[in-house]
């Protein structure tokens, strides 16, 4: 009932409680393609509104149709609204992508990358680099990985149970363990943290 | 994801919405009754039942009563009311304000437009003579309901809270959630789990979703 420029994108494309830059639009496209499609529709609507307004402004000025001013204002509000929705949507995606660096580490699973646009991937890489530069500047010469130990550690070694088959995992000095589903191991905390966050290992409390 | 993702907060309770806040965008999508004070040419196609027809340049006639979203009403409003004038939605009018002052706890604020406080606060932009009463009412309603929200959020552990939040507006639900998080974090700490490394929420939900996508 309402014209397309009452932007539907945020209500459908996003939900504050959902995760990750995954678009949830229905349709044959998936991943970044669908997101781009929705955005393209919005931009097309904006173009149409803008052109109508340009034409009406000219008519108001040269044709003396000052009664068109409220109409022009109406379309202008719609343009601003579309702009706001688009920017807020893209910004929210960036906030989630930034969170990915902290949650998943510096290598993103391909399933997630599938849902990111090329520009977003580029942004992620820039962010990674900024973070790495910063971390290198901490703690004297060696730098400090502040994405580790997100919870205060109690022990150097922790007990973990394997939730999925993962394969060989090198521990230190060439020794390795076989991470098979349900196997349990006592491993150095700093080696396991990533795998636990990825859901491959489970931290077992004694 | 919840740990590292910090969304843009709502500014609706303050003087201005936050441009980038998704909550504010959703809030300002809600409608309010307005009256046009001047004909608006060429927009009649959006309101076919009001349109003046092609002889009148498809205008929305002056004096039309419409329901417009808040963002549009805000954009077209000025203090001289040249384009439109705004009417207060019923729940902010005197009748309902009396109900709230009698007992704020019984009202289903979620049904009354889920952004009761945010929308009501932004309504103050329209310079209604009732603004003082509206703002008082918003504040007192919140004061009346807050105690129950705090209590229930701090005491509902590991249970279905849908009945508790059903009649809360969005802002109150946010508060409830914050309370729950505090409770859960504390319980975690008591159980000695505060130092347990956990799987990232993001990854967990992603693995679940992958199955759904495959089924589509």
Q: Dihedral (C-alpha) B92, B94, B100, B101: value to the nearest 10 degrees?
A: 140
At A149 the pLDDT is: 85
Averaged pLDDT, A121-150: 92
Residue of A nearest to B84 (CA): A70
pLDDT band at B200 (very low <50, low <70, confident <90, very high): confident
- A71–B43: do the CB atoms touch at under 8 Å? yes
**Upper half-sphere CA count for residue A150 (Cβ side, 13 Å):** 17
Compute the radius of gyration of chain B from its Cα atoms.
22
- A5-9, A169-173, B80-84: which has the minimum mean pLDDT? A5-9
CA proximity to B138, closest of B118, B157, B152, B153: B118
Please say if the pLDDT value at position A15 is more than 60: no
Residue A54 β-bridge partners: none
- List the alpha helices (DSSP H) in chain A: 9-13, 32-62, 69-104, 110-113, 118-136, 189-197
Whether A38 shows a pLDDT value over 90: the answer reads: no
Q: Which domains does chain A have, with CATH numbers?
A: 36-137 (1.20.58.1030), 157-203 (3.40.5)
Considering only the beta carbons, identify the residue of B25, B46, B194 that sits closest to A85.
Answer: B25
Contacts of A187 in chain B (CB under 8 A): none
Closest-CA residue of A relative to B29 is: A6
| Gap from A21 CA to chain B (nearest CA, Å) | 10
Q: Is A152 on the interface with B (CB under 8 A)?
A: yes
Model pLDDT for residues A145-173, shown as the tens digit of each residue: 998 888 888 888 999 999 988 888 888 77
| Average pLDDT value for residue range B115-121 | 97
pLDDT at A122 over 60: yes
Residue A154 and residue B5: Cβ atoms within 8 Å?
Answer: no
Q: What is the least distance, in Å, from the CA of A44 to any CA of chain B?
A: 18
The pLDDT tens digits of the residues spanning B128-140 come to 999 999 999 999 9
Q: CA–CA separation, A122 vs A106, rounded Å? A: 13
- Counting residues of chain A whose pLDDT is more than 70, the rounded percentage is 83
Nearest to B142 by CA among B113, B165, B109, B119: B109
DSSP states of A56-100 as a string? HHHHHHHS--GGGHHHHHHHHHHHHHHHHHHHHHHHHHHHHHHHH
Contact A135, A145 (CB under 8 A): yes
Give per-residue pLDDT as tens, B20-67: 999 999 999 999 999 999 999 998 877 767 777 777 788 888 999 999
CB atoms within 10 A of CB B151: 12
ipTM here = 0.89
CATH topology of domain B90-191: Methane Monooxygenase Hydroxylase; Chain G, domain 1 (1.20.58)
Dihedral sign (CA B47, B52, B53, B54): negative
Range B34-69 burial, b when 16+ CB lie within 10 A, else e: bebbbbbbbbbebbeebbbeeeebbbbbeebebebb
Mean pLDDT of A25-31: 37
Interface test with A, best of B203, B209, B211 (most A CBs within 10 A): B203
Rg over alpha carbons for chain A, rounded to the nearest Å, is 25
**B43 to chain A: nearest residue by CA?**
A71
CB of A23 within 8 A of CB of A120? Answer: no
Average pLDDT over residues A50-76: 93
Q: CATH class for domain B1-87?
A: mainly alpha
pLDDT surpasses 80 at A18? no
Query: With pLDDT > 70 as the criterion, what percentage of chain B qualifies?
Result: 92
Contact A104, B203 (CB under 8 A): yes
Domain ranges of chain B: 1-87, 90-191
- Banded pLDDT at A31 (limits 50, 70, 90): low
- Where would I find the H helices in chain B? 22-27, 70-76, 94-102, 116-123, 131-155, 162-165, 170-190, 201-215
Average pLDDT, chain A: 81
- One fold for B1-87 and B90-191: yes
């Amino acid at each position: 009932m309402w014209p397309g420029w009452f932007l539907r994108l945020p209500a459908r494309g996003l939900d504050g409680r959902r995760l990750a830059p995954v678009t949830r639009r229905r349709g044959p496209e998936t991943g970044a393609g669908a997101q781009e499609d929705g955005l393209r529709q919005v931009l097309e609507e904006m173009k149409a509104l803008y052109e109508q307004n340009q034409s009406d402004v000219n008519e108001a000025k040269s044709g003396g149709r000052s009664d068109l001013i409220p109409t022009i204002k109406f379309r202008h509000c719609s343009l601003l609204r579309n702009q706001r929705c688009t920017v807020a949507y893209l910004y929210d995606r960036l906030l989630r992508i930034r969170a990915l660096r902290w949650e998943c580490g510096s290598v993103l699973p391909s399933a997630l990358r599938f849902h990111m646009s090329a520009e977003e991937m580029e942004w992620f890489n820039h962010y990674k680099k900024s973070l790495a530069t910063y971390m290198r500047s901490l703690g004297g010469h060696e730098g400090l990985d502040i994405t580790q130990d997100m919870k205060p550690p109690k022990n150097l070694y922790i007990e973990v149970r394997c939730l999925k088959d993962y394969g060989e995992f090198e521990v230190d000095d060439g020794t390795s363990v076989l991470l098979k589903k349900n196997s349990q191991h006592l491993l150095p905390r700093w080696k396991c943290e990533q795998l636990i966050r990825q859901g491959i290992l489970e931290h077992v409390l004694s | 994801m919840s740990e590292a993702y910090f969304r843009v907060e709502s500014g609706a309770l303050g003087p201005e919405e936050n441009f980038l806040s998704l909550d504010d965008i959703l809030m300002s999508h809600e409608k309010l009754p307005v009256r046009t004070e001047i004909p608006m040419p060429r927009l009649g196609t959006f309101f076919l039942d009001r349109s003046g027809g092609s002889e009148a340049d498809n205008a929305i006639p002056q004096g039309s009563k419409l329901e417009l979203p808040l963002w549009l009403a805000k954009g077209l409003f000025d203090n001289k009311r040249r384009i439109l004038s705004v009417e207060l939605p019923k729940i902010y009018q005197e009748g309902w304000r009396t109900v709230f002052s009698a007992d704020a706890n019984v009202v289903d604020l979620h049904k009354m437009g889920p952004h009761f406080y945010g929308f009501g606060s932004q309504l103050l932009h329209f310079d209604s003579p009732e603004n003082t009463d509206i703002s008082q009412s918003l504040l007192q309603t919140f004061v009346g309901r807050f105690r129950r929200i705090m209590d229930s959020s701090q005491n509902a552990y590991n249970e279905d809270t849908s009945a508790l939040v059903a009649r809360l507006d969005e802002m109150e639900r946010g508060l409830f959630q914050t309370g729950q998080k505090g409770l859960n974090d504390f319980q975690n700490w008591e159980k000695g789990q505060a130092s347990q490394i956990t799987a990232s929420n993001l990854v967990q939900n992603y693995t679940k979703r992958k199955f759904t996508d495959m089924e589509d």
